[in-house]
Amino acid sequence: MKKKKRLIKFFCLILAVVVLAVWSYDNLTLKTVETTLTTEKTEDEIRIALVSDLHYSYFYDNDKVIRSIKDTNPDIIFVLGDMYSRGMTGRIDKVIGFLEELSEIADVYAVTGDHDYDDEYKQKVTELKNVYLLDYIYRDVVIKDTKLRIYGINNVYFTDTFDLHNEFETPPEDRINILLSHIPSMPHYGDFGFDYIFSGDTHGGMIRLPWFGGLYYNGHILPKITYNGTITDKGLYEFENTSLYVTSGIGNYPIPLRFNNRPEICLIKIKGE
């Protein structure tokens, strides 16, 4: 009997070690995902680093994020919201410091999400050099010989009457038109005329299961089975005239519970066709 109990304890210990190792790998290690997009609007290679859903955490090595972004050698950096968690205003200055470090690598264009919308945070972002908060505005940018127009919106909810045509003029055809929006809601702006849309928010469903994909999306558990709409929770989605890219981001909320879905930064390369 004692031998059997020792054997059970041994297997429980092995199981605990394996679970801890998998949890650590899926929640505390960072990967860089590269994706190439093509367009006839450029003959250059534009390198864009995407950062989203940091949910600034003290147990995560945020210096590693800075180093990894620097290693991508970006021409421009897009920050897609939820850089700290709701109510954690004590971390705003830490995030501001993080954005300052990013701006030393390349110009930063940012939108807010459904957590980091505090006026204090937005005000401090606007005071940073080479960091541009896009709150229902756009900026025209030239990188190498390529002209871009970068739009940003701050919506986390959309009404049935939402229409970006009421906010912006039709995008110019001689520029690469890019929308930064924390929420990947193609039905609400997919027909506006953007070439590319970059979003976060979904955390990739947090837990990704073989054959089933993300565990959670848009209020649905196992959305591949229970959700009737188009699932856009992680990666590249091609629509008629627009490409949507959704990053699963870096952090966790409310608890670190990623599985098969490691924290990521993304390098997007836009090249000529």
> For every one of its 273 residues, what pLDDT tens digit does the chain have, with 9 covering 90 and above?
667 777 888 788 898 999 899 998 999 899 999 999 999 999 999 999 999 999 987 556 788 899 999 999 999 999 999 999 998 899 999 999 999 999 999 999 999 999 999 999 999 999 999 999 999 999 999 999 999 999 999 988 888 888 999 999 999 999 999 999 999 998 888 889 999 999 999 999 999 999 999 999 988 999 999 999 899 999 999 998 899 999 999 998 888 889 999 999 999 999 998
**Is 249 a domain residue?**
yes
**Is 14 a domain residue?**
no
**Is 16 a domain residue?**
no
CA distance 53 to 80: 7
**Is 48 a domain residue?**
yes
**Distance, C-alpha 221 to centroid of its chain:** 21
Q: Which domain holds residue 238?
A: 31-272
**Is 1 a domain residue?**
no
The pair of three-digit structure tokens given for residue 213, joined into one six-digit string: 């994909």
**What's the domain count of the chain?**
1
CATH number at residue 233: 3.60.21.10
CA distance 28 to 67: 15
Contact present, 202 and 246 (Cβ < 8 Å):
yes
Single pTM value for the model: 0.95
CA distance 146 to 272: 10
